[in-house]
Amino acid sequence: MIDNKILNKELRKKVVDMVIAGKDGHIPSAFSIIDIITLLYRDVLKFDASNPGWLDRDYFILSKGHGCLALYVNLHQHGFISDRDIDFFCKKGGILGEHPDRTKVPGAEASTGSLGHGLSFAVGIALGLKIQEQNNRIFVLLGDGECQEGTVWEAANVARNRNLGNLCAIIDWNQSAMQLMPVDDMPKKWAAFGWHVLVVDGHNESELSNAISSIEYKKDNIPTVIVAKTIKGKGVPMLEGHGIWHHRIPNEQEYSQIMEALS
């Protein structure tokens, strides 16, 4: 098995190459969540890349759609999408844009981009599968800035009151939200809505893995949220934090610096 840390560096490089080729994309947002998504696809989710609609699959919904490069490279890694798909990121005739499109991308469960939709959609899926007495698990990854959207808390309220224990939300707590609203105790907020709350280092494989495997995923239980402390741009010091890199394309020199940092 490839060491996960090495794999994540290679996937990070692929993200950067896609942004260079496509001349668009959110690198730091992808780097904030790529360790989480890579772990999910490698060790957690049940899926069949040759049959993305397999009824027994687990669902993964990337609610913060602008982090989609982290999803795309994992879908490519596991055979959902092709080399050509990657090469045509943000190009005419391609299926991969700056936000995932459920109707185009095999393995993408939701077309996200407008923040505050993914959890509500996931709650509907979780309720639907519970009604049908199915055992699929539903994972949904949200940004902490996204949690400023009111619909997130509408959905959190419903999920708890309907006991959707088959649902696990993961919060990319990279403190983007605190730039505008510094009072932002994410674990307490979710606890106040009655969820089972786990707090982990979102770049620490064993912490993440232990948290995910500790959940029972019982259909009639309280839902769980993993608040993952992350760093936007994690892996390349010059990209880390909340500065100019949110939606910037590296020039030739910067590209070399980024690749050097990832080598």
Chain residues in the site for other proteins (CB under 8 A): 55, 102-103, 109-111, 114, 117, 120-129, 131-132, 134, 150-151, 154-155, 157-158, 162
Q: Kindly state the smallest distance separating residue 261's Cβ from other proteins, in Å.
A: 36
Q: Kindly state the smallest distance separating residue 214's Cβ from other proteins, in Å.
A: 25
* Complex with other proteins: residue 114 or 214, whichever CB lies closer: 114
Say if residues 187 and 199 touch (Cβ distance below 8 Å).
yes
Amino acid at 240: E
* Complex with other proteins: residue 171 or 258, whichever CB lies closer: 171
* Complex with other proteins: residue 18 or 110, whichever CB lies closer: 110
* Complex with other proteins: residue 125 or 231, whichever CB lies closer: 125
Q: Kindly state the smallest distance separating residue 135's Cβ from other proteins, in Å.
A: 13
* Complex with other proteins: residue 126 or 258, whichever CB lies closer: 126
Angle between helices 27-39 and 4-22 (to 10 degrees): 140
To which residue do tokens 């040759």 refer?
50
CB burial class (10 A; 0-12, 13-18, 19+) of residue 93? exposed
Q: Kindly state the smallest distance separating residue 131's Cβ from other proteins, in Å.
A: 6
* Complex with other proteins: residue 97 or 235, whichever CB lies closer: 97
Q: Kindly state the smallest distance separating residue 34's Cβ from other proteins, in Å.
A: 25
Q: Kindly state the smallest distance separating residue 103's Cβ from other proteins, in Å.
A: 5
* Complex with other proteins: residue 11 or 122, whichever CB lies closer: 122
Q: Residue 46 region, left (φ>0) first, then alpha (ψ -120 to 50), else beta?
A: beta
User: Residue 200: CB partners within 8 Å, gap ≥ 6?
Assistant: 207, 208, 210, 211, 226, 227, 228, 229
Q: Measured at the alpha carbon of residue 2, what is the angle toward residues 28 and 48, in degrees to the nearest 5?
A: 80
How many alpha carbons fall within 13 Å on the CB side of residue 38?
Answer: 27
Q: Kindly state the smallest distance separating residue 50's Cβ from other proteins, in Å.
A: 20
Sheet of 59-62, strands arranged across: 59-62, 138-143, 167-173, 224-229, 196-201
Coil, strand or helix at 62? strand
